[in-house]
Homo-oligomer: A and B are copies of this chain.
Amino acid sequence: MSTQNEMTYAQAIKEAMCEEMRRDENVFLMGEDIGVYRGAFGVTQDMYKEFGTERVIDTPISEAAFVGCGIGAAVEGMRPIVEIMFSDFMSVCWDMILNQAPKMHFMFGGKVSVPLVIRTASGCGTGAAAQHSQSLEAMLCHIPGLKVVVPSTPFDAKGLLKSAIRDNNPVVFLEQKLLYRTKGMVPDREYLIPLGKADTKRIGTDCTIVTYGRMTQLSLKAAETLSNEGISCEIIDLRTLLPLDRMAVLESVKKTKHLLIVHEAVKTGGLGGEIAAEVAESDAFYYLDAPIKRLAAEDVPVPFSAVLEKGVLPDEEKIASAVREVVG
Contacts and interface: CB of A to CB of B under 8 A. Distances in A.
Q: Interface size for chain A: under 10, 10 to 19, 20 to 34, or 35 or more residues?
A: 35 or more
Question: Within the oligomer, what is the number of copies of this chain?
Answer: 2
Nearest to A293: B281
B142 A270 contact: yes
Interface in A241-297: 242, 244, 265-266, 268-277, 279-283, 285-286, 288, 290-294
A306 interface: no
Interface of A: 88, 90-92, 94-95, 97-99, 102-103, 106-107, 129-131, 136, 138-139, 141-145, 242, 244, 265-266, 268-277, 279-283, 285-286, 288, 290-294, 299-301, 303-304
B94 A91 contact: yes
Given A268-B242, A281-B293, A291-B280, A103 B91 contact: no
Contacts of A280: 276-277, 279-280, 291-292
Contacts of A265: 142
Which of A102, A129, A301 counts the most B-chain CB atoms under 10 A from its CB? A301
A286 B129 CA distance: 39
A87 B17 CA distance: 36
Contacts of A281: 276, 291-294
10 contacts: A88-B99, A92-B95, A103-B131, A106-B130, A106-B303, A141-B268, A142-B269, A144-B266, A145-B301, A242-B268
Contacts of A130: 99, 103, 106-107
Contacts of A273: 271-277
A107 B270 CA distance: 21
A285 B274 contact: no
Contact of A301 (B139, B144, B299): B144
A277 B301 contact: no
A144 B91 contact: no
A168 to B, nearest CB: 16
Contacts of A139: 138-139, 142, 269
A268 B286 CA distance: 22
Contacts of A98: 88, 91, 94, 136
Contacts of A283: 291
A105 to B, nearest CB: 9
A129 B288 CA distance: 40
A205 B107 CA distance: 43
A89 B90 CA distance: 15
A327 to B, nearest CB: 15
Contacts of A90: 94
Contact of A277 (B97, B129, B272): B272
A156 B277 CA distance: 29
